[in-house]
């Protein structure tokens, strides 16, 4: 990212529209590495104002619950991006239209961070240029790991890893037959709690098992969807978290026993099913409806291939 030289351009009157997809991380064996962008979107309008500070209007998920001032995660992400490139933070009005469920393993916090980073990119266009590496680095600095923010930024299937120079990623296109569905319960799950249930070490054979399944999963997602059931087996994290999500664990067992590639979505408690064709999603929805003991929302989705977008927006159009 490079700052423009000379007199800084004014931000007065600038406004942008941001759209960010939900994500599902891990995908079974790809713990903290693999992520998939899904066709559920949070949208954000941001307008520069004369008064300092920030105000946030929230519609949909989180309305009445999430902060509406400078402590809002989106605002903090914008401020982080401005600070990292040496630009003063302007006063902002934000309108958030949230659809991604919170605390359900669909990357809501990562989406909020990416929304803020992309808003900063759009507001600073012509003043500072953010390349792909900069976007991923800024988002990862706030999120702590790149497995959710990478697919949110770039779309598709992403492999993310960390190097001494910072986070890196590779985006892959998913086979058109892959048909994802997410089943979302009413209860939430803390990512911090889920991570606390992980052991500090695992048996050597379990590590080898997951390496083989992760490699197979890449092949299944981009070339051979018929291998998804075998490719989504995991021994590194899901069994350790099962006690904290008993109904999630039970439904995954029901779905997998019927040949479906079901896994915990992110840290849970949602269930992700990677169907090899659309009919498998319908079978999964029927099984969840028949076997769930509490209400679960079925989201029959597509893979988002575009990732986050930001476009200039008329300032008087924020509603």
Which residues are annotated as part of the binding site for ATP?
101-111
Angle between helices 73-84 and 132-143 (to 10 degrees): 130
- Those residues whose C-beta lies under 8 Å from the C-beta of residue 143, and which sit 6 or more positions away, are 109, 110, 113, 149
Closest CA to 124 of 44, 55, 46: 46
- What's the gap between Cα 157 and its chain centre? 11
The Cα–Cα gap between 39 and 152 comes to 11
Give binding residues as ranges: 101-111
Work out whether the CA dihedral 267, 100, 45, 171 comes out positive or negative: positive
User: Residue holding tokens 């991570």?
Assistant: 195
Which contiguous run of DSSP H or E holds residue 95? strand 91-98
Three state DSSP letters for 148-191: CHHHHHHCCEEEEEEECCEEEEEEECCCCCCEEEEEEECCCCCH
- What's the gap between Cα 291 and its chain centre? 28
């Amino acid at each position: 990212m490079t700052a423009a030289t000379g007199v800084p351009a004014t931000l007065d009157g600038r406004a942008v529209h941001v759209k960010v997809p939900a994500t599902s991380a891990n995908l079974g064996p790809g713990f903290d590495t693999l992520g998939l962008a899904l066709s559920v979107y949070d949208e954000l309008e941001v307008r520069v104002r004369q008064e300092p500070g920030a105000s946030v209007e929230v519609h949909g998920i989180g309305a009445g619950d999430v902060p509406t001032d400078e402590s809002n995660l989106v605002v903090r992400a914008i401020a982080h991006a401005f600070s990292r490139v040496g630009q003063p933070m302007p006063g902002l009005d934000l309108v958030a239209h949230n659809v991604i469920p919170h605390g359900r393993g669909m990357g809501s916090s990562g989406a909020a961070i990416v929304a803020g980073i992309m808003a900063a990119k759009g507001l600073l266009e012509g003043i500072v240029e953010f390349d792909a590496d900069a976007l991923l680095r800024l988002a990862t600095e706030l999120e702590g790991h790149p497995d959710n923010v990478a697919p949110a930024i770039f779309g598709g299937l992403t492999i993310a890893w960390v190097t001494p120079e910072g986070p890196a990623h590779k985006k892959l296109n998913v086979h058109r037959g892959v048909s994802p569905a997410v089943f979302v319960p009413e209860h939430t799950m803390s990512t911090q709690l889920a991570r606390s249930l992980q052991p500090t070490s695992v048996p050597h054979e379990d590590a080898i098992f997951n390496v083989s399944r992760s490699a197979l999963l890449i092949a299944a997602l981009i070339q051979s969807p018929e291998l998804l059931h075998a490719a989504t087996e995991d021994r590194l994290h899901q069994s350790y978290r099962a006690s904290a999500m008993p109904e999630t664990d039970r439904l995954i067992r029901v779905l997998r026993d019927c040949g479906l590639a079901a896994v915990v979505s992110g840290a849970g408690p949602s269930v992700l099913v990677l169907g090899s064709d659309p009919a498998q999603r319908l079978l999964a929805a029927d099984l969840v409806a028949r076997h769930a003991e509490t209400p679960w929302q079925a989201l029959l989705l597509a893979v988002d291939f575009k990732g986050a977008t930001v476009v200039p927006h008329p300032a008087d159009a924020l509603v």
